[in-house]
A and B are shown apart, each in its own frame.
Chain A
């Protein structure tokens, strides 16, 4: 069966020699593409200031705005990372799960308090996780990673249709009580002050809390340990008695919880409507840049892409409009992807991902 280039790492039990670590000099020589890319990024970031295309105040605003947006992307990317880490499946349906959870909460909240609605939604996500494990993961258990990827694509279509069929296509509100008016900082130092969005700050702290919670879950609880074992080598985990099917349900439930939080945060920001599932298309490059198996990678990837996107949209767009008379706008649709593409060319496993080794 063709594998389309995705394979999990096999451990060779007969290996007796330990491969030598490359020397410092060799490491540096191999790292030059990353260094070049990083330098280019830093130069690109500093260019608007150097060329006086913007005031320092505005520069800081765009930077902060980008960081916040990036944190929100990484919230969705966390779902990708969790599922890939534990089961090697890339879950294309994460965006649809965000939409589904948000729709459920928003619609249920019309009849009950928001917290209760969120709890019921979480229960729905757990039920969904169980169904996915039974109906999709189990029948496809020995198929290639690409078949599973395409199956999750099918799940995403199904969930989008199902969620909207039950709960409707209108724009629904989720009121988390987040403050909407921005803060204007340092109005004396910079003209007009620096705009900091308050609800983005709260959202960023929610994400930080979630990451902390997930970290504690993975390190301190028995289930977390089991999850890490499965992520490391699922055959070995099975051989010591960890029930894989239960683990997958748990992983998808945790990803469902992350999707619920993401849905609540994004839904309160943008309103719960169909385009919410398209956020996943923005979060995909974040997950890949970070390396699909690393949570800190997702956060860092999100920050890089958030900042890069905003800078490209604002400053690169202005530059293109100025030099090539293009009417500007829309660069952030493709910038994240092109950035990730360039990065993958030099470091195919992402920032913190594990190198996958093809054995013939």
Chain B
């Protein structure tokens, strides 16, 4: 009798709490007006957390740096909130819906950290008028800003990445004509992310006569790659391009070691070339090369600033040793581009005021960071100048090859993607997307606004 009474009371209390808290949850929050809200979609749990966490930490650290060192953007403080997506599209959409209207002017822009989530949000962004910043990922055809007004794959897309990889292979083989008859295998994460480079690789295969072998790895069993690599062993490709994310990368390198595929003939995209992917394999990944978006690991002015203004004050988001690693630096670059877009928008729409998503979009489209500005920001050693426009939402198409020597990444040469091939492809695919979704090319007047 006593237990049932307790049960009864317990349920009533729990129900009341739940009801009360939900009411509070649904209530809007009011804040101080001079604040710019930056939503942070992150994944710190799940199979992709080892790669997502340094990225997330860097984004937060940079926002903290701008607040601490510069007092915000022209006096407008940056406020942020993290939302855990676990790399899943539906949670990403939930986080987007939750965060898009926060802050005095709504969210400035979204960096979903995932191609899958980008696909899910691409239709919502124009409706809610919030731009998507997808540095080095997202839809490759979204570099064509005349159709994809709200998507910004700055600094590179999967097509620029795969183009540069083919260029690198050609250089190693002694020229594009030496590619004829070779076999290049693409071991890819079986998701929108992994399938993105295929159109460009097929185009290059047609142009140069090499055979493209496509070997998908199912996300549900990313760690069990023995069958995949036995197939690679059977097919005996000359090069393997690794297009993985999260634990798929280290599992791939381990299996490559176990099936004796020469690691120096493995090339990874910039999402397959960071410390979490090779740390565990160590010496076994020696010789493996991967791309970086212009800059890999290392400390320069901005990281030292972060150590001084954020970590030394005990405000660091992640561990101190993480500052300066490959993915951390990439997160810094992404955060910097977000802040610079806000700054550029303020120059046009009113300094010292919080910007709306539309205004930040204009900022992203009219970004012009020359070497002097990059030096002043502390990214001078890391990046080359970036300039966007209405039709060019990618800004720059450079990438560097780095090689793992067993203990650290050794940076190599810088390459530029061949936009002569990529831009027409992007144009065509964008036109297809526009036709399917009823979007027409933007007029020159629209481009000026």
B residues contacting A by CB (< 8 A) are: 44-47, 49-50, 53, 190, 214-218, 220-224, 226-228, 230-231, 233-234, 247, 250-251, 254, 257-260, 276, 279-280, 284
Contacts and interface: CB of A to CB of B under 8 A. Distances in A.
A314 B227 contact: yes
A177 to B, nearest CB: 13
A258 B257 CA distance: 27
Nearest to B251: A270
Contacts of B222: 275
30 contacts: A54-B234, A58-B230, A62-B227, A62-B230, A65-B226, A65-B227, A65-B230, A170-B50, A170-B276, A173-B279, A173-B280, A180-B254, A180-B284, A195-B233, A197-B259, A199-B258, A270-B223, A270-B254, A273-B50, A274-B46, A274-B247, A275-B47, A278-B220, A313-B227, A314-B231, A328-B215, A329-B216, A332-B227, A333-B218, A333-B221
A328 B260 contact: no
A199 B260 CA distance: 13
A182 B226 CA distance: 13
Contacts of A199: 258
Given A181-B260, A282-B224, A170 B49 contact: yes
Nearest to A73: B224
B230 A61 contact: yes
Contacts of B251: 270-271
A69 interface: yes
Contacts of A61: 230, 233
B216 A330 contact: yes
Interface of A: 54, 58, 61-62, 65, 69, 164, 169-173, 180-182, 184, 192, 195, 197, 199-200, 269-271, 273-276, 278-279, 282, 309-310, 313-314, 327-330, 332-333
A329 B47 contact: no
B217 A329 contact: yes
Please list the 9 inter-chain residue pairs (A to B) with the smallest Cβ-Cβ separation, ordered nearest first: A330-B218, A313-B227, A169-B49, A329-B216, A271-B280, A275-B223, A171-B50, A173-B280, A270-B223
A98 to B, nearest CB: 13
Contacts of B214: 327
Contact of A171 (B216, B220, B247): B247
A171 B280 contact: yes
A329 B231 CA distance: 10
Contact of A274 (B49, B226, B227, B250): B49
Nearest to A54: B234
B42 to A, nearest CB: 12
Nearest to A309: B227
Contact of B258 (A172, A182, A275, A278): A182
B426 to A, nearest CB: 24
A182 B259 contact: yes
Contact of B226 (A169, A276, A279, A310): A310
Contacts of B257: 180-181
Nearest to B214: A327
Interface centre among B44, B226, B231, B258 (most CB of A within 10 A): B226
